[in-house]
Amino acid sequence: MSIHIWLRAESKPAEKRSPLTPGDAGILVKAGLRVTVESSNQRVFPASEYAPHGCEVADCQSWFHADSDVIVLGLKELPYSDEPLVHRHIYFAHVYKGQSGWGQILNRYVLGRGLLYDLEYLTDENHRRVAAFGYWAGYSGAALALMAWVGQKLNNNPVLLPVESFRNRDELLAKVNASIGTARRVPRVLVIGAQGKSGGGAVQLCRSAGADVTEWDLKETKMGGPFAEILEFDIMVNCVLVQSKIPPFITSTLLDRTGRRLGMICDVSCDPYGDQNPLPIYETCTSFANPVIRLPHTPDPLDLIAIDHLPSLLPRESSEDFSRQLLPHLLQLDKMESGVWQQARNMFEMKCEKINES
């Protein structure tokens, strides 16, 4: 049986990324796979760019009625529903760390006998993710944090206006540099998880913008938090991907200390809904429409950015990077009983077993 990939349209507002670019879709078609692409008015690559590469075009959100053997490929969460899921799905589901509604979502697969291959848990033999948006998440998060910090220092209200995707990183960096140019001093930035891809992107943006950046990784955090030293920085960017519960990096009690310099936090990792959040100081994500929230700590203002699709700020570069990483594994979809696909299925089945335990 030939493999049929169905690239669905994203339903999350402002999500312009794609896990598969037109050129890489064409490589799949040439390899003998069938690729259907849903029309989308959000995706940075319109369906018309896929058609010349041999892809079929379908209506937006029509995957639900596709043949049951179709493999549905996406990025972010599915639209809310109680309907059983019969297909095999590939996307970031955000349901394996006890997030709100995780049981209801997984139960849809159980009822429909579908399967979830969560992209976050598509890992190699060394337990490293085979495809990630990390670099561009860190890059974009640091950019917004710097601009919001400047807005805070200028007493702007809001400190950062609603944001939209940029055409490319040069345009974004120019915007950041122009913003920093209006500040009275160079900000001190702490990047936690600096040795990872996400942290690397954050560090690169900060250096390009002329910020004074300090890098922390396992060496600096292995003793366990909270860390009072964080209060000595203007901006903190968290890029640590946590897979198990650890002591928090900061707490509300710590943030209430007098003499706090810290005024801006960007949680690139952005997972406030489970018990593995190393920044247990907020309970809901922010968005492109409302990128910053003011935390209730005095006397000096403290703001936070926690957008769970930061790479959408640079949808073209981030999609091209991710698709390039994922492509070799999509070419192995005829061998889903082994390798990264089987590991992802094992994780799914283990988590489904916990539904009856909860």
76 is catalytic: yes
| Tokens matching residue 100 | 């709100």
State which H helix or E strand residue 299 sits in.
none
Q: Which residues contact 307 (CB under 8 A, 6 or more apart)?
A: 141, 144, 270, 285, 286, 287, 288, 291
Return d(Cα 136, Cα 45) in angstroms, integer: 18
Catalytic residue among 12, 53, 89, 94: 94
351 is catalytic: no
Q: What is the DSSP string of 215-246?
A: EE-HHHHTT-S--GGGGGSSEEEE----SS--
* 3-state percent breakdown (helix, strand, coil) of the chain, nearest 5: 35, 15, 50
Q: Cα dihedral angle (341, 346, 351, 352), rounded to 10 degrees?
A: 90
Residues belonging to the active site: 76, 94
